[in-house]
Amino acid sequence: MAAKNRKPKLQPGADLDAAVELVRSRLGRSRPALAIILGSGFHGVSALVRAKASFDYGDVPSFPRTGVKGHSGRLVVGTIGDLPVLLLSGRAHYYEGYSMREIGFPVRVLAELGIRDLLVTNAAGGINRRFKVGDFMTLTDHINLMGANPLRPDRAGEWDGRFQDLSAVYDAELGALVKRAARAARVRLRSGVYLAVSGPSYETPAEIAAFGRLGADAVGMSTVPEVVTARHCGLRVAGLSLITNPAAGIGGGEITHTEVMETGQLAESAAQTLVAEFCRLYLTR
């Protein structure tokens, strides 16, 4: 079933249509089934893409711009290896002042363009004490403590009336591909539950202790808005975190964004190899 027939439009129709048509005009004959969202720690993956076209987020109608270091804010049409992909290099965040609905808008554009599967990446603090800095984690589930939901409309009367099931939010087949890719890339991959908070402050040790008791293995400030939106659009989702630091109260030191960025730079080669292997396996599955 075509993307336009399988989901409601929770965005102003003119803005969504304009964004879709702009990107579609540069796709040519390419019809990517996979899109990738690059979060903190994964910026180097953009070097894998043979770009056919590239758009600054500010040039795409209603795309939220990102002001966070390490998020370039570009939508790239191209290939990784022989696989056609759409790449979102960087993301906007709830803590930057955007609504959850605005953060989910790029995913709705991807769905309208025919994307079926989404790999979403992020940097996260490790709550599970077995996790080490530089480990990767495939998401098996998430806990939304951001205090909002991207499916809630901005005004009364705009809700489509559908309650979205999230009992299997992360796709098992795509998750298995991530694990196979990690083995091929020879990188250490954990599995676990990602907990999302609103930010921009980092968590307190007491909060991290509570999150651990709730069953969280890692914590971050992103990903959940895009994932929930993607499931509402009928997309399959795989999630991948880079553990950039021990969460508060676990590592004993001060947590800074500089530390997150430095770990991402050290893990750049591993992230590139892991995503490249995922794309290769996706193409030949």
Where is pLDDT greater, at 269 or 251? 269
Provide the residue ranges of all domains of the chain, joining segments of one domain with +.
3-284
SS (H, E, C) 120-162: EEEEEEECCCCCCCCCEEEEEEEEEECCCCCCCCCCCCCCCCC
pLDDT at 228: 98
Q: How confident is the model at residue 263 (pLDDT cuts 50, 70, 90)?
A: confident
In angstroms, the CA 26 to CA 36 distance is 18
Where is pLDDT greater, at 254 or 148? 148
pLDDT tens profile 135-153: 999 999 999 999 999 999 8
Query: Among 10-19, 114-123, 155-164, 186-195, where is mean pLDDT lowest?
Result: 10-19
pLDDT tens profile 195-249: 999 999 999 999 999 999 999 999 999 999 999 999 999 999 999 999 999 999 9
pTM: 0.92
Where is pLDDT greater, at 260 or 55? 55
Q: 3-284: CATH homologous superfamily? A: Nucleoside phosphorylase domain (3.40.50.1580)
pLDDT tens profile 97-132: 999 999 999 999 999 999 999 999 999 999 999 999
Catalytic residues: 40, 71, 93, 95-96, 123, 221-222, 245, 257
pLDDT at 92: 93
* Cα angle, residue 81 at apex, residues 79 and 82 outer, rounded to 5°: 70
